[in-house]
Amino acid sequence: MTRTFLRCKIHRATVTEANVDYEGSITIDRDLLDAAGLLPYEKVEIYNVTRGTRFETYAIEGKAGYGEICVNGAAARLVEVGDLVIIACYCALEPCEIEGHRPTLVFVDRENRIKSVKQAETASTISV
């Protein structure tokens, strides 16, 4: 049996664009994708800190260094430019993988420039 854990997150990114006419997804600056370890087309969950809305979609690659966080498609109706969002990705772990698991946490400023990248504490205190 696997259990689901946070794999990585981009914390409090600022939405730079909302494009309802696009097919769907969230465009994320390539530098942020790399820092978090996210791949294009990987499933992500978006938590809008400003509005309290939540949704899931997939990541697509934006240009590196531009700070782009663009919510596309129908989900664009759940955000406004300037909203703060958390972009999270999860993984399924076998019990033997849990103890050493350390999610990657990417912290950004208001322009979506990386302030720091940290590995969270391990889940070693959890009994499986």
What CATH number does the domain containing 54 carry?
A: 2.40.40.20
* DSSP-derived 3-state class of residue 128: coil
46 token code pair: 């978006």
Domain annotation covers residue 90? yes
pLDDT tens per residue, range 53-69: 999 999 999 999 999 99
One-character DSSP codes across 24-55: SEEEEEHHHHHHHT--TT-EEEEEETTT--EE
pLDDT of residue 121: 83
Q: Residue holding tokens 């697509």?
A: 60
pLDDT at 34 over 70: yes
Mean of all residue pLDDT scores within the chain: 95
pLDDT tens per residue, range 17-33: 999 999 889 999 999 99
pLDDT of residue 24: 80
Domain annotation covers residue 17? yes
Of residues 22, 41, 58, 90, which has the active-site annotation?
A: 58
Domain annotation covers residue 124? no
Cα-based distances in Å from 97 to 9, 18, 53, 68, 121: 19, 38, 32, 33, 14
Expressed as residue numbers, the domain containing 69 is 3-119
- 90 included as an active-site residue: no
Domain annotation covers residue 28? yes
Domain annotation covers residue 127? no
Domain annotation covers residue 108? yes
How many folded domains does the chain comprise? 1
- 25 included as an active-site residue: yes
Rounded to two decimals, the pTM is: 0.93
pLDDT of residue 23: 81
